[in-house]
Amino acid sequence: MPPARSGPNLSRIATSLGVSVATVSNALSGKGRVSEQLAERIREHAAEMGYVPSQAARALRTGRSGVIGLVLPDIANPLFPKLAQAIEFAATSAGYGVLIADSRGNITAQTEAINRLVERGVEGLVIVPRRATRISAASCPVAVIDTASTPGNTVAADHWQGGRDIADHLAELGHKRILVIGNNPESNVQNDRVGGIRSGLRPDMQSSTLWVERLERENGMGCTLGLAEKVREGYTAFAALSDLQALRALTELQRDGIVVPDMASVTGFDDLIFSPVITPSLTTVAMDMATIADVAISSLLKTIQASGSREGVLVSADTDRVPMQLIVRQSSGPADPARIDPTKLDLTSQTENS
Amino acid sequence: MPPARSGPNLSRIATSLGVSVATVSNALSGKGRVSEQLAERIREHAAEMGYVPSQAARALRTGRSGVIGLVLPDIANPLFPKLAQAIEFAATSAGYGVLIADSRGNITAQTEAINRLVERGVEGLVIVPRRATRISAASCPVAVIDTASTPGNTVAADHWQGGRDIADHLAELGHKRILVIGNNPESNVQNDRVGGIRSGLRPDMQSSTLWVERLERENGMGCTLGLAEKVREGYTAFAALSDLQALRALTELQRDGIVVPDMASVTGFDDLIFSPVITPSLTTVAMDMATIADVAISSLLKTIQASGSREGVLVSADTDRVPMQLIVRQSSGPADPARIDPTKLDLTSQTENS
DNA sequence: ACGCATTGGTTAAACGATTAATCCAATCCG
DNA sequence: CGGATTGGATTAATCGTTTAACCAATGCGT
């Protein structure tokens, strides 16, 4: 037995008004030919009956579900809120719903997640790939948000330029020795960021890179990064490739009595939720998530409309990369080698700075 | 013209095997009466044709979309990744998809978001309400995840008990004066947490509360909290109601030369992504998101099955509240009033601690 | 007044899966 | 041996929308 019918539907409206369902449909969609008066009457009546169209029926008939899938394969990525919010907003504005799927880590789980979404009838996918994962196109258009150097990437923040901005900023502040702190050298995003930073260094500046995951593999998770030692070696700036690493660096430095930014500068990437509220607030480089999401969604939808049936296309957009924006806060300041001398530690309370 | 038919469907399989669609349907769903051999042949053939059932058609026929909605009204809530992950996992395990909707702040937007989801045919909703918002039931079962004292709450972490755990922990460490740091006194969650903390204080302990949003309204966003001053006043422990506030407190203290936990302890709530990796790592109290999600989803689904048609019921679960777990890390330690004397500041490098 | 477009509407056929209702053996049993 | 049961499959109706095709007026130019 089919479930008890509940809500009003086209035919209910139609009989109740003494017209045909087709007319009601036409009136509500504004497509066929219906006199303006009748259309108006129908719309009113539909509204007061609380009519809400059945997406299922519509999807069945038109073959378009009005839903796209969002695949987030990085476990609990702290960028997730902003991204999901931006994608959801862009999609909603375009009249689409967003189904999420999170394949925790695991590549096979990623494939499964994609399949699940496809089975649910998504018209397209937005995928933020797990690092170094190549997306083997599913059976529907796929937009990839990663970084410009990833093959098949649709749109992404210009991580390279963001890196250059950081380098420029640190150069202007007079820093000569910079330690780049990354998580994993296999991340395309992080590599682009490092590349950008290096490309922005002046001839008299030098940098080296610390990969945290590698260090943790030797010394255990959550081990100290030994940054105070680096300060003693003459590093005056720590450029983390993510705010998470920056935060880790910052707290470790502070804990070891290094005042930021007086004695060392710290910068990050992504402008995560905590970045503006810590002390000192974090100088970082932010993605324009709204624009990225807009570009991704709009080009995805364009591709969907173009490709009649469900082919597995990788979507490409006009705008390949979206500029990142440097946000200068309190954690970066002029390099002042004099202060590195441990005897000059100035630790009087600074509570009252605004 | 209906879009070009692409994938294989039941009737395609049926004709290609010389049987009826009904038989194919029965074989694949295991419902009707089909001989085992034929069923096996059908399954094989369906698989090699790459058959994937049309959710739209199924939804239309059965009235069940196989999708639930997740509404996250708090802007970019840092808890979001864990929550979404847990909900998605629980729902997926039950064969359901998850549609997200984020109403940024705005209450009317929240209603709109709910409507959008309902129009998309979700069978039920999981809502994490914006603070102090009462959920006026939509036209489908709704599970609310907030806190036990919220009217209509379905399931949530036992924030009160979490607070008591924190108080116990600090009591054992010998702290006498505790400053509770919250964001907004209108949050049910935060109030329960404060209540828990207060209830766990020993007779010889005292606490007061600092509401950050209120302070920021006077002194501007991102203003200093003046915690160093509090230390001088004799406070030895700062119990933040969220890791975000704890982080803010911790960095401010460190910046002002207060060594944590030697001179003051800091604790948080929620075990956010950054909490284990900062220095010192943060003592906090974690929600059991997996269990919360399981309970929410399973009782939601139970209600869905029970309520034949789409009524707006608030789901209730057997387990009202899920225990929180205290995670003791480095940011909390024994109270030692002696060290509060600024002349005894010990600031030799501590880089080598593991 | 006749053909021809235009306007405003109706009919009916899909879309693909589910499922109640049949139907046709073959088997069972007293 | 005849009526009842059962296993195995088919028929056909249905979910609610969309949309191509069709039809009945009316208006209009010649």
pLDDT interval class at B310 (50, 70, 90): low
Secondary-structure percent of chain A, ordered helix, strand, coil, rounded to 5 = 40, 15, 45
Q: Looking at the complex, does the CB of residue A33 fall below 8 Å from at least one CB of chain B? A: no
Of A4, A99, A347, the CB nearest to B99: A99
**Average of pLDDT values for B139-148?**
91
Cα separations in angstroms, A271 against A228, A288, B87, B176: 24, 10, 26, 37
pLDDT (tens digit per residue) in B46-89: 999 999 999 999 999 999 999 999 998 777 788 888 899 999 99
* Strand-pair category, A321-322 with A265-267: unpaired
**Stretch (H or E) spanning A24:** helix A21-29
First vs last Cα of chain A: how many Å apart? Answer: 69
Higher per-residue confidence, A166 vs B114: A166
| Among chain A residues 116-175, those with CB within 7 Å of any atom of strand D | none
Which pair of tokens denotes residue A39?
A: 């259309």
Cβ-contact B296, B87 below 8 angstroms: yes
Q: Which is nearest to A90 in space by CA: A7, A11, A155, A19?
A: A155
- Using CA atoms, how far apart are residues A21 and A24, in angstroms rounded to an integer? 5
CB pairs A-B closer than 8 Å: 235
Cβ-contact A73, A110 below 8 angstroms: yes
At which residue do the structure tokens 């501590």 appear?
B350
pLDDT (tens digit per residue) in B167-187: 999 999 999 999 999 999 999
Q: Looking at the complex, does the CB of residue A54 fall below 8 Å from at least one CB of chain B? A: yes
User: Amino acid identity of A216?
Assistant: E
pLDDT interval class at B110 (50, 70, 90): confident
State whether B60 and A62 contact (CB < 8 Å).
no
- Residue A338 pLDDT: 58
CA of B37 to C1' of C28 (A): 24
Is residue B261 reached through a cis peptide bond, with omega within 30 degrees of 0 on the bond before it?
yes
State whether B98 and A100 contact (CB < 8 Å).
yes
State whether B101 and A88 contact (CB < 8 Å).
yes
Q: B202 to chain A nearest CA, in Å?
A: 31
Enumerate residues 55 to 84 of chain B having a beta carbon within 8 A of any beta carbon in chain A: 55-57, 59-67, 70, 75-78, 80-82, 84
**Average of pLDDT values for B152-180?**
97
- Residue A43 pLDDT: 95
Closest chain A residue to the Cα of B247, Cα to Cα: A278
- Using CA atoms, how far apart are residues A261 and A174, in angstroms rounded to an integer? 13
List b or e across A85-113, with b for residues whose CB sees 16 or more CB atoms inside 10 angstroms: bbbbbbbbeeebbbbbbbbbeeeeebeeb
Q: Looking at the complex, does the CB of residue A282 fall below 8 Å from at least one CB of chain B? A: no
Q: What is the mean pLDDT of each run of 10 residues along chain A (354 residues)?
A: 67 94 95 92 94 94 94 82 92 94 81 88 90 70 92 95 98 97 93 97 96 95 93 96 97 93 97 95 97 97 79 86 97 77 44 37
**Stretch (H or E) spanning B143:** strand B142-144
- Using CA atoms, how far apart are residues B321 and B295, in angstroms rounded to an integer? 10
First vs last Cα of chain B: how many Å apart? Answer: 69
pLDDT (tens digit per residue) in B5-49: 567 899 999 999 999 999 999 999 998 889 999 999 999 999 999
State whether B97 and A117 contact (CB < 8 Å).
yes
State whether A63 and B3 contact (CB < 8 Å).
yes
List b or e across A292-312, with b for residues whose CB sees 16 or more CB atoms inside 10 angstroms: bbbbbbbbbbebbeebeebee
- Residue B104 pLDDT: 76
**Average of pLDDT values for B303-327?**
86
- Residue A133 pLDDT: 66
Within 10 A of A154 (CB to CB), how many other CB atoms are there? 25
Q: A32 to chain B nearest CA, in Å?
A: 14
State whether A54 and B60 contact (CB < 8 Å).
yes
CA of A306 to C1' of D17 (A): 23
Q: Looking at the complex, does the CB of residue B220 fall below 8 Å from at least one CB of chain A? A: yes
- Using CA atoms, how far apart are residues B68 and B88, in angstroms rounded to an integer? 10
- Using CA atoms, how far apart are residues A23 and B160, in angstroms rounded to an integer? 58
CA of B310 to C1' of D7 (A): 38
* Strand-pair category, B156-157 with B321-322: parallel
CA of A36 to C1' of C3 (A): 29
Share of chain B above pLDDT 70, in %: 90
Q: Is the CB of B59 under 7 A from strand D?
A: no
Which pair of tokens denotes residue A141?
A: 């258009």
The residue count of chain A comes to 354
- Using CA atoms, how far apart are residues A57 and B114, in angstroms rounded to an integer? 20
Cα separations in angstroms, B194 against B199, B209, B221: 8, 9, 23
| Among chain B residues 46-65, those with CB within 7 Å of any atom of strand C | 51, 53-54, 57-58, 60-62
CA of A155 to C1' of D22 (A): 49
- Residue A106 pLDDT: 78
At which residue do the structure tokens 């950008």 appear?
A196
State whether B99 and A101 contact (CB < 8 Å).
no
Q: Looking at the complex, does the CB of residue A257 fall below 8 Å from at least one CB of chain B? A: yes
- Residue A111 pLDDT: 85
Mean pLDDT of chain B: 89
- Using CA atoms, how far apart are residues A219 and A222, in angstroms rounded to an integer? 8
- For residue B68, what are the β-bridge partners? B98, B124
- Residue A310 pLDDT: 60
Higher per-residue confidence, B289 vs B138: B289
The CA-based angle B149-B152-B153, given to 5 degrees, is 60
- Residue B308 pLDDT: 60
Residue A240 three-state SS: strand
Helix crossing, B80-93 with B289-306: angle to 10°? 50
Q: Looking at the complex, does the CB of residue A351 fall below 8 Å from at least one CB of chain B? A: yes
- For residue B326, what are the β-bridge partners? B285
